[in-house]
């Protein structure tokens, strides 16, 4: 399913139908049925959440997986949860998002030259996909990056999980990933040679665990995004 789509629009439609991980399918659909009390009147998306952003993006943001009551509810990455509040405010502040808030997939938000995606497209229990689920979902990310390759110049990776998941995908896609593999860290910057020069930037994940404790501040997110935008030619 993941290798067939010839465009990002087709890929987004195809991934939304994926049922390859039995545990995640059960979980995402159960959450969509039981709902959180605050959203009891809403129709949850309850399916794999596709990437979001233009097909000619030069900057990609790679996170972890949709949140049970965020992306799994609204149908768009980082939309409708606290992590997204931080991320989209920062994207807006550096000129990459048309508005500072993201509440639903039909709220009119657009991104400039930026695509937001994840190595796992279904909400996992406790935000923890298994290694097998990460590997099962890998072809979707691989095809997404392949379709973006003509324009892609920089990737901001939000958190160590995304970093570890992304490196093999980039290596398979032809970029020269150094050995030993570069380590994740906030502010890490690796330049990869390959089909085109690609800058890889590390940023702590915008999870509440990081933002509520002050480990990651809005200024730190803005700084990495602005650097990614500059390297991607979007400043």
Q: Where do contacts with ligand SF4 occur on this chain (CB under 6 A)?
A: 15, 18-21, 24-25, 48, 120-122, 133, 136-137, 140
Rounded CA gap, 119 and 141, in Å? 6
CA 202 to chain CA centroid, Å, is 13
Nearer to ligand SF4, 166 or 234 (CB): 166
In terms of CB distance, is 18 or 225 closer to ligand SF4? 18
* Minimum gap (Å) between residue 162 Cβ and ligand SF4: 14
Nearer to ligand SF4, 48 or 202 (CB): 48
CB of 133 to ligand SF4, least distance (A): 6
- Least Å distance between CB 71 and ligand SF4? 12
- Catalogue the E-assigned strands of the chain: 59-62, 114-117, 154-158, 189-192, 198-203
| Closer residue to ligand SF4 (CB): 19 or 215 | 19
Do the beta carbons of residue 79 and residue 206 sit within 8 Å? no
Q: Which is nearer to ligand SF4, 21 or 203 (CB)?
A: 21
Total residue count of the chain as it appears in this document: 235
> What is the spatial distance between Cα 128 and Cα 154, in angstroms, rounded to a whole number?
26
CB of 66 to ligand SF4, least distance (A): 9
Least gap, CB of 161 to ligand SF4 (angstroms): 13
- The DSSP symbol for 127 reads G
Mind giving me the DSSP string for 142-171? HHHHHHHTTT--EEEEESHHHHHHHHHHHH
């Amino acid at each position: 399913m993941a290798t067939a789509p010839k465009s990002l629009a087709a890929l987004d439609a195809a991934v939304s139908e994926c049922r390859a991980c039995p545990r995640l399918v059960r979980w995402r659909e159960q959450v969509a049925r039981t709902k959180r009390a605050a959203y009891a009147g809403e129709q949850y998306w309850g399916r794999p959440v596709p990437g979001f952003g233009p097909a000619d993006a030069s900057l990609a943001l790679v996170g972890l997986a949709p949140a049970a009551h965020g992306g799994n509810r609204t149908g768009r990455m980082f939309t409708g949860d606290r992590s997204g509040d931080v991320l989209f405010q920062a994207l807006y502040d550096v000129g990459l998002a048309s508005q500072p808030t993201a509440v639903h997939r039909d709220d009119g938000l657009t991104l400039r030259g930026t695509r937001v995606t994840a190595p796992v497209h279904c909400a996992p229990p406790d935000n923890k996909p298994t290694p097998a689920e990460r590997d099962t979902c890998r072809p979707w990310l691989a095809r997404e990056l392949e379709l973006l390759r003509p324009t892609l110049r920089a990737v901001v990776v939000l958190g160590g999980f995304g970093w570890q998941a992304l490196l093999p995908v980039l290596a398979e896609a032809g970029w020269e990933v150094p050995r030993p593999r570069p380590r994740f860290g906030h502010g890490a910057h690796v330049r990869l040679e390959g089909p085109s020069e690609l800058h890889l930037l590390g940023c702590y994940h915008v999870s509440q665990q990081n933002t509520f404790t002050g480990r990651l501040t809005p200024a730190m997110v803005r700084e990495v995004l602005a650097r990614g935008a500059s390297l991607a030619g979007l400043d």
